[in-house]
Chains A and B, each alone.
Chain A
Amino acid sequence: MAEPVPRRPLARPAAAGQLDLLPPPVGSRTVPAVPVVPAVAATAGTAAGARELWLAAYLPGLAFEALQDEFASTGPRAVLEGTERSLQVLLVDEAARCLGIRPGLSLVAALALSTELETRVREPARERAWLERAAELAFRYSSRVSLEPPDGLLLEIRGSVRLFGGLEALCRGFEAECRASRLHPVCAVAPSPLAALAGARAGRALRVTSLGRLAGALAPLPLAALRWDEDTLGRLASIGVRTLGEVLRLPRAGFARRFGAPRLALLDELAGRRAAVRRGFQPAERFRGRCEPDYELESLEAVLAALEPLLTDLEHFLETRQRGVTLLRCHLRHRDRPPTSCLLRLARPEARAARFADLLRERLGTLTLPAPVRRCELRTGALLARPLANRVLWGAGERGGEGASEEGFALIEQLRARLGRDGVYALGLHADHRPECMVHPLEPPTGGAAAASAALAAAALPWSATRRPLWLLAAPQALRERHGLPVHDGALELVRGPERIESGWWDGTDIERDYYVACDARRAWLWIFRERAAPHRWFLHGFFG
């Protein structure tokens, strides 16, 4: 594999001098079916290449699309390129085109044609970000996506064709999704990545699935689609080579001598004779989105409306990764106040935009905005594996219906969104003799593990726990005394006791108490205690009711 390039001439070499004698190829049909790929070229690289199928998406308008949010008007707009001294028009919109402004014009000439022309200088960083956005979209269609900066994408789609209902449906689906994100790609499909890219750059919607047809399909494409430097293209043009078909028919040895072995290797990649290695695109591990509306947002409803597209992006981001998040941070920035931020914690990984919107509504409803909002930012915590949703025949609560699963966690999240994290909890039992230490708020259990531990705790209760009250006061309440006996709405009758609880000397919150069951005048059953240490005060600690 290290030396796959066959250095020997092709089986039917076409000498450079003979080129003029051949009829110029006008369309793919005039080109011989198997003109280039010789039998000897079937190297390991070719075999590997035959199993791959590449979709190239070329974004000719990326420089413009990356800046479309920046333009203030919808009138004639143009993106410029070049140094400050010599700015040139790079891309124009439809309105500018109608005014006669063409790519390549100088800025001065363009402004002479229309004074209303709104211009922006291209921003490569933004273009890169938008290209990565397109790559995110592409992840729905393939797990092997690579960027071809500055304006191309490659997807390996052999495995996805059937899933998406055929090649054409897949391409159309991807294009539609890009258009929804305001990107306009040209898509081409070929068994080799370079060929697909060349096809897309040439503006041809190639749909070549077999290596046998590749050379024929490539033949009419202009050489410029390879994006070689001007010098090389000029030299090739001077010997009459202007299309890919023509360059592929040049004798290998001569080509390598004149233009170098690396270019020959590129041609082999183009024709699928040599496997091409692409660096995979690594999608971001966290989601970060922000929106900066043109006007300040005064009401909560407006903020939520502004967040909606971000949440949709987030849903898409999570969907393509089949992941969910349990942590979502929302920052609302004001003009000259510290930002308002809210943190959304979910009981389990979630990916649906509608669900996030519901929770944010509850959560933001508890906040008051100190000033109008200028910018909204959304960030997620780490991505987590998300259990896929089940569809069940029965509704919740019906026989066989899933109970505390999906809706159960939704309920907890919704309650927590408004009441805060501590507003909803489960009860835990802690192995201790001190009553106040036995109460132990817990995260609501999400599975069998918690159930098992609670059952264990119950089995390990050291004493007859029915002798404990159902209610405990958060803090013992001191009782008044009359003739040495405690009083609570009248005299208390001590029914049972004392039960001595002495514990906790090791952690500084030790207690020494004698507990009694008492009955008051209204027949409420109380759990009271008397401190063993002086001054032997009485306290109310619980109700049996």
Chain B
Amino acid sequence: MSRIDSRLAPLLEHPALWRGRSAARVPVLGTGFGVLDESLPGGGWPSAGIVEILTAARGIGELRLLVPLLAALTHTLPARWSVLVAPPFEPFPPALVAHGIALESLLVVRTTTPLWAVELALRSGSCAAVLAWVERARPRHLRRLQLAAEQGRTLGFLLRLESALKESSPASLRILLEPTRDGARLKLIKSRGGARGAVNVSWSVHGDG
């Protein structure tokens, strides 16, 4: 049995092959949280595409969840921008630096029409990740962003409010984030080729750890 498995394994890894729960291997980026990596298809964030993260309010952990990813991306060579589009407050540089993020690869875009900027950034191919705080987005807008992300090989995070839960979305991954005492509880609402369910990730909330 194990011999067959070992011979099958390379065939099963073919990118054109899609198998229910264990998705074909696509390049992924580590989330920095072991438990989350295990439950995501491929073992991490997809390296290109759109991921939606929904929260009840702004600034309750959505950026903290992505900080390890940003820290890794901003130190990757060749350098590509990581872009924050329409963040709800001012990102505070001391904390970002303390979490290992290289500020010189980070751009902040202030705009009242975030979708346009997001699409531009995703499509340009010069960004590794685009984090966008978006209020309203229609499914067809999201589809456009999805295409742009694939074209530019960029990972886009749409950070939206819980109210968007009812709308359909073409994103391959949708996560509902609820803060807990020592981290967050992540509900995988939609996870193409991955497990559904919820995981608890923990982090040092206010710098004690």
For the complex, give the distance between the alpha carbons of A455 and B127 in Å. Answer: 21
A-binding segment of B92-100, B137-145, B191-199:
B92-100
Could you tell me if A397 and B125 are in contact, using CB atoms closer than 8 angstroms? yes
A398 within 8 A of B: yes
For the complex, give the distance between the alpha carbons of A284 and B48 in Å. Answer: 48
CB distance from B31 to the nearest CB of A (A): 17
Closest residue on chain A to residue B82 by CB atoms: A404
A-binding segment of B11-19, B38-46, B61-69, B167-175:
B61-69
A422 within 8 A of B: yes
B80 within 8 A of A: yes
Q: Which of B90, B111, B153 contacts A471 (CB 8 A)?
A: B90
Cβ contacts under 8 Å, B91 to chain A: 427, 470-472
For the complex, give the distance between the alpha carbons of A439 and B105 in Å. Answer: 16
Could you tell me if B104 and A451 are in contact, using CB atoms closer than 8 angstroms? yes
Number of inter-chain CB pairs below 8 Å: 197
B132 within 8 A of A: no
Could you tell me if B205 and A525 are in contact, using CB atoms closer than 8 angstroms? yes
Could you tell me if B206 and A444 are in contact, using CB atoms closer than 8 angstroms? no
For the complex, give the distance between the alpha carbons of A451 and B93 in Å. Answer: 14
CB distance from B133 to the nearest CB of A (A): 11
A105 within 8 A of B: no
Asked if A397 meets B93 with Cβ closer than 8 Å, knowing A404-B105, A419-B110, A471-B63, the reply is no
Cβ contacts under 8 Å, A469 to chain B: 92, 95, 206
B35 within 8 A of A: no
User: Among residues 483 to 509 in chain A, which have CB atoms less than 8 Å away from a CB atom of chain B?
Assistant: 495-496
Could you tell me if B88 and A525 are in contact, using CB atoms closer than 8 angstroms? no
A412 within 8 A of B: yes
Could you tell me if A464 and B117 are in contact, using CB atoms closer than 8 angstroms? no
Could you tell me if A523 and B181 are in contact, using CB atoms closer than 8 angstroms? yes
Per-position 1/0 for A447-486, Cβ under 8 A of B: 0001100110110010011111111111000000000000
Q: Which of B80, B98, B102 contacts A403 (CB 8 A)?
A: B80
Number of interface residues of A (CB under 8 A): 63
Could you tell me if B205 and A454 are in contact, using CB atoms closer than 8 angstroms? no
Could you tell me if A415 and B109 are in contact, using CB atoms closer than 8 angstroms? yes
Could you tell me if A543 and B59 are in contact, using CB atoms closer than 8 angstroms? yes
CB distance from A408 to the nearest CB of B (A): 4
Could you tell me if A545 and B120 are in contact, using CB atoms closer than 8 angstroms? no
Could you tell me if A439 and B80 are in contact, using CB atoms closer than 8 angstroms? no
Cβ contacts under 8 Å, B111 to chain A: 415, 419, 423
B204 within 8 A of A: yes
For the complex, give the distance between the alpha carbons of A470 and B48 in Å. Answer: 25
Could you tell me if B109 and A426 are in contact, using CB atoms closer than 8 angstroms? no
Could you tell me if A470 and B63 are in contact, using CB atoms closer than 8 angstroms? yes
CB distance from B202 to the nearest CB of A (A): 13
A276 within 8 A of B: no
Closest residue on chain B to residue A416 by CB atoms: B109
Could you tell me if B90 and A472 are in contact, using CB atoms closer than 8 angstroms? yes
Could you tell me if A495 and B152 are in contact, using CB atoms closer than 8 angstroms? no
For the complex, give the distance between the alpha carbons of A435 and B93 in Å. Answer: 10
Could you tell me if A461 and B106 are in contact, using CB atoms closer than 8 angstroms? no
For the complex, give the distance between the alpha carbons of A414 and B67 in Å. Answer: 27
Q: Which of A404, A472, A523 contacts B81 (CB 8 A)?
A: A404
Could you tell me if A423 and B88 are in contact, using CB atoms closer than 8 angstroms? no
B20 within 8 A of A: no
For the complex, give the distance between the alpha carbons of A133 and B98 in Å. Answer: 57
Cβ contacts under 8 Å, B128 to chain A: 403
Could you tell me if A404 and B126 are in contact, using CB atoms closer than 8 angstroms? yes
Could you tell me if B79 and A403 are in contact, using CB atoms closer than 8 angstroms? yes
For the complex, give the distance between the alpha carbons of A396 and B104 in Å. Answer: 19
Cβ contacts under 8 Å, B30 to chain A: none
Q: Which of A395, A429, A445 contacts B97 (CB 8 A)?
A: A429
CB distance from B175 to the nearest CB of A (A): 15
Could you tell me if A404 and B94 are in contact, using CB atoms closer than 8 angstroms? no
Per-position 1/0 for B128-161, Cβ under 8 A of A: 1000000000000000000000001110000000
B163 within 8 A of A: no
Asked if A524 meets B179 with Cβ closer than 8 Å, knowing A450-B104, A454-B102, A466-B99, the reply is yes
Cβ contacts under 8 Å, B106 to chain A: 426-427
Q: Which one of B78, B92, B128 has the highest number of Cβ atoms from chain A below 10 Å of its Cβ?
A: B92
Could you tell me if A542 and B107 are in contact, using CB atoms closer than 8 angstroms? no
Cβ contacts under 8 Å, A522 to chain B: 56-57, 60, 179
A113 within 8 A of B: no
Cβ contacts under 8 Å, A524 to chain B: 57, 59-60, 179
CB distance from B155 to the nearest CB of A (A): 10
Closest residue on chain A to residue B121 by CB atoms: A411
Could you tell me if B89 and A543 are in contact, using CB atoms closer than 8 angstroms? yes
CB distance from A231 to the nearest CB of B (A): 71
For the complex, give the distance between the alpha carbons of A216 and B174 in Å. Answer: 86
A544 within 8 A of B: yes
Could you tell me if A395 and B125 are in contact, using CB atoms closer than 8 angstroms? yes
A517 within 8 A of B: yes
Q: Which of B78, B108, B120 contacts A427 (CB 8 A)?
A: B108
Asked if A465 meets B180 with Cβ closer than 8 Å, knowing A525-B205, A544-B64, the reply is no
Could you tell me if B67 and A470 are in contact, using CB atoms closer than 8 angstroms? yes
CB distance from B129 to the nearest CB of A (A): 11
A32 within 8 A of B: no
A438 within 8 A of B: yes
Asked if A465 meets B179 with Cβ closer than 8 Å, knowing A404-B78, A419-B117, A426-B104, the reply is no
CB distance from A424 to the nearest CB of B (A): 5
Could you tell me if B88 and A471 are in contact, using CB atoms closer than 8 angstroms? yes
User: Among residues 508 to 531 in chain A, which have CB atoms less than 8 Å away from a CB atom of chain B?
Assistant: 517, 522-525
User: Among residues 252 to 284 in chain A, which have CB atoms less than 8 Å away from a CB atom of chain B?
Assistant: none
A339 within 8 A of B: no
Could you tell me if A401 and B179 are in contact, using CB atoms closer than 8 angstroms? no
For the complex, give the distance between the alpha carbons of A466 and B97 in Å. Answer: 9
User: Among residues 65 to 113 in chain A, which have CB atoms less than 8 Å away from a CB atom of chain B?
Assistant: none
A407 within 8 A of B: yes
B208 within 8 A of A: yes
For the complex, give the distance between the alpha carbons of A361 and B90 in Å. Answer: 30
A45 within 8 A of B: no
CB distance from A365 to the nearest CB of B (A): 11
Per-position 1/0 for A406-442, Cβ under 8 A of B: 0110111011001100111111110000010011110
A177 within 8 A of B: no
Q: Which one of B59, B205, B206, B208 has the highest number of Cβ atoms from chain A below 10 Å of its Cβ?
A: B206
In order of increasing CB-CB distance, the 9 nearest A-B pairs are A396-B125, A465-B98, A397-B153, A543-B59, A403-B80, A466-B207, A467-B207, A407-B126, A408-B126
In the assembled complex, 16 residue pairs joining A and B whose CB atoms fall closer than 8 Å, in A order, are A395-B125, A396-B152, A397-B48, A400-B78, A403-B81, A405-B78, A422-B110, A426-B103, A427-B91, A427-B103, A440-B93, A441-B108, A470-B59, A470-B99, A474-B89, A545-B179
